[in-house]
């Protein structure tokens, strides 16, 4: 065993020969070994030092067999430090005394005279226990800090523009209720962040937040994913499975891209929301669910009512409160704040020393249209930090942005370059489908994942 494996040890025994023998044995393995023959000094020692392990004799001169003194001082130690790791030692041990010692808070029990290997092994186990106590303490403090951070106003959402301040005000009002919320906005505006902010400030903040991308769920898997299934309900149902509604019980359920649901799936969802219960596929048993519902879409959902592609009664069910997230081009005051946030984050990630932007660089960012909104700004700064040199990001580091058209329309110039043609076709499909990625992917004959890869490739 290597030096200092056993940390800082305190040994308390009225036998001086035993104290010195133990110290000689353990000093090769411990960071520090302190010895004390007078148990009356225990309160002073424990109050003024942090010990990894305390070895405590059970019997002193006043009472050599009953162990009462040992139990008395054990109680004193635990009152001062409830997480103290104490190993009791005695020459008159028996099973009943050992059990009582453990009930009183001792970590272990060892008999004199001990075997050296046995003592070291016992101390090693005690040290591991102490380390686990320390780890739990760290986690508890971390959780307390996280809870404290959540009380700070919107550290997870960046923005100081008038429109964002208005959104913060709405969140403050709605979060403490159980009202259903519908978040509207273009792709990349941060709808999930708003949903999480509502949950984190709600009465359900200590419960689970479950997010579901409705656009990625096929019609055949919709009921299984959201409502669950029984083993054997269909070919691939090899086990019982709880749906997202069950998992989110007592917490918040976030249904993203809800505007992509077909009318039949909208009807099934509406039934569950009205009854507040789900029935797993393959069973007839209805399970009550208690959720806070938050939905989001990038589609003009009110227009979808007019063309009968979205149920009006479902919209009324989900939009007790609506929050509209403006596109980044309408939040120009927030662009420098967001840009500096991403600059700091990615500078740390890639171990770069960027300190800011040149005036030309910041001017370019503020006047660019940002069709991909905050997500595009984030990716642009990450790309620039990876490729650029020096300590300031300049407009030249964002050449890939200046090459794009300023408007949302695809360029009309004729080109035979395959990449340009693919980029133009993708942009037209997205424009045609009102920004609906699922519909655009279907029209292009691509999967959603393939389309997202191409969007990132072309910076769309």
Domain boundaries, the chain: 8-139, 162-326, 328-404, 407-460
Q: Give the pLDDT confidence score for residue 447 in this predicted structure.
A: 79
The 3-state DSSP class for residue 424 equals helix
- Residues sharing a CB contact under 8 Å with residue 213, sequence separation 6 or more, in sequence order: 256, 257
pLDDT exceeds cutoff 50 at 405: no
Place 172 in a pLDDT band, splitting at 50, 70 and 90.
very high
| Fold held by 8-139 | Rossmann fold (3.40.50)
pLDDT exceeds cutoff 60 at 118: yes
| Fold held by 407-460 | Arc Repressor Mutant, subunit A (1.10.10)
Show the DSSP H helices in 88-161 as ranges: 95-103, 116-151
pLDDT digits (tens, 9 = 90+) for 4-50: 577 889 999 888 888 888 888 888 888 889 999 888 899 999 888 87
Domain spanning 328-404: CATH 1.10.8.60: yes
Q: Give the pLDDT confidence score for residue 143 in this predicted structure.
A: 55
| Range 146-158 average pLDDT | 54
Neighbours of 302 (CB within 10 A): 13
Q: Are 228 and 278 in contact (CB under 8 A)?
A: yes
Q: Give the pLDDT confidence score for residue 378 in this predicted structure.
A: 92
**Mean pLDDT score of the chain, rounded to an integer?**
83
The 3-state DSSP class for residue 370 equals coil
Q: What are the φ and ψ backbone dihedral angles of 308, each rounded to 5 degrees?
A: 60, 30
Return d(Cα 257, Cα 30) in angstroms, integer.
59
Q: Are 205 and 150 in contact (CB under 8 A)?
A: yes
Alpha-carbon torsion 394, 186, 253, 173, what sign?
Answer: positive
Q: Give the pLDDT confidence score for residue 139 in this predicted structure.
A: 62
Lowest mean pLDDT among 28-42, 48-62, 328-342: 48-62
| Range 205-224 average pLDDT | 88
Place 80 in a pLDDT band, splitting at 50, 70 and 90.
confident
| Range 314-338 average pLDDT | 93
Q: Give the pLDDT confidence score for residue 416 in this predicted structure.
A: 58
Cα-trace Rg, the chain: 32
Return d(Cα 171, Cα 41) in angstroms, integer.
57
Place 338 in a pLDDT band, splitting at 50, 70 and 90.
very high
* Chain centre to alpha carbon of residue 237: 30
DSSP state letter for 152:
S
| Range 209-214 average pLDDT | 90
Q: Give the pLDDT confidence score for residue 410 in this predicted structure.
A: 39
pLDDT digits (tens, 9 = 90+) for 410-428: 344 445 567 777 788 888 7
Domains 162-326 and 328-404 share a fold: no
Q: Give the pLDDT confidence score for residue 267 in this predicted structure.
A: 93
CATH architecture of 162-326: 3-Layer(aba) Sandwich (3.40)
Question: What is the 3-class SS of 248-307, one letter each residue?
Answer: CCCCEEEEECHHHCCHHHHHHHHHHHHHCEEECECCCCEEECCCEEEEEECCCHHHHHHC
* Tokens read off for 430: 């997205």
Among 41, 143, 58, 60, smallest CA distance to 102 is for 58
For the chain, the residue count is 460
pTM score: 0.56
Neighbours of 92 (CB within 10 A): 13
Return d(Cα 271, Cα 30) in angstroms, integer.
66
pLDDT exceeds cutoff 80 at 291: yes
Q: Are 382 and 369 in contact (CB under 8 A)?
A: no
């Amino acid at each position: 065993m290597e030096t200092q494996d056993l940390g800082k040890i305190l040994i308390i025994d009225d036998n001086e020969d035993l104290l010195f023998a133990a110290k000689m044995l353990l000093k090769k393995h411990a960071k520090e070994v302190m010895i004390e023959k007078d148990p009356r000094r225990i309160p002073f020692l424990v109050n003024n030092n942090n010990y990894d392990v305390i070895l405590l004799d059970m019997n002193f001169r006043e009472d050599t067999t009953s162990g009462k003194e040992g139990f008395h001082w054990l109680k004193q130690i635990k009152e001062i430090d409830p997480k103290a790791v104490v190993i009791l030692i005695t020459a008159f041990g028996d099973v009943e005394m050992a059990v009582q010692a453990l009930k009183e808070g001792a970590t272990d029990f060892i008999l004199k005279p001990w075997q050296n290997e046995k003592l070291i092994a016992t101390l090693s186990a005690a040290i591991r226990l102490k380390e686990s106590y320390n780890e739990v303490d760290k986690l508890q403090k971390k959780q307390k800090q996280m809870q404290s951070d959540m009380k700070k106003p919107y550290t997870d959402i960046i923005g100081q523009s008038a429109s964002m301040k208005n959104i913060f005000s709405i969140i403050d009002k709605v979060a403490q209720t159980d009202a259903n919320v519908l978040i509207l906005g273009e792709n990349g505006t941060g709808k999930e962040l708003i949903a999480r902010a509502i949950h984190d400030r709600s009465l359900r903040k200590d419960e689970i937040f479950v997010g579901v991308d409705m656009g990625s769920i096929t019609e055949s898997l919709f009921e299984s994913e959201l409502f669950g299934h029984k083993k054997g309900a269909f070919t691939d149902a090899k086990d019982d499975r709880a749906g997202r509604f069950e998992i989110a019980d007592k917490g918040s359920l976030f249904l993203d891209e809800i505007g992509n649901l077909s009318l039949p799936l909208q009807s099934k969802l509406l039934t569950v929301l009205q009854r507040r219960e789900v029935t797993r596929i393959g069973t007839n048993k209805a399970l009550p669910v208690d959720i806070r519902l938050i939905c989001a879409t990038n589609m003009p959902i009110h227009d979808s009512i007019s063309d009968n592609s979205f149920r009006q009664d479902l919209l009324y069910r989900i939009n007790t409160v609506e929050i509209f997230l403006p596109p980044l081009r309408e939040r120009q005051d927030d662009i420098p704040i967001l840009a500096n946030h991403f600059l700091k984050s990615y500078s740390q990630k890639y171990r770069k020393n960027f300190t800011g932007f040149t005036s030309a660089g910041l001017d370019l960012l503020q006047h660019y249209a940002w069709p991909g909104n905050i997500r595009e700004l984030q990716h642009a700064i990450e790309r620039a930090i990876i490729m650029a040199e020096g300590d300031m990001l300049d407009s030249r580091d964002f050449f890939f942005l200046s090459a794009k058209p300023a408007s949302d329309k695809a360029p009309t110039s004729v080109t035979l370059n395959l990449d340009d043609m693919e980029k133009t076709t993708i942009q037209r499909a997205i424009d045609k489908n009102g920004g609906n990625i699922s519909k655009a992917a279907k029209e292009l004959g691509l999967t959603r994942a393939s389309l997202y890869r191409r969007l990132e490739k072309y910076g769309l």
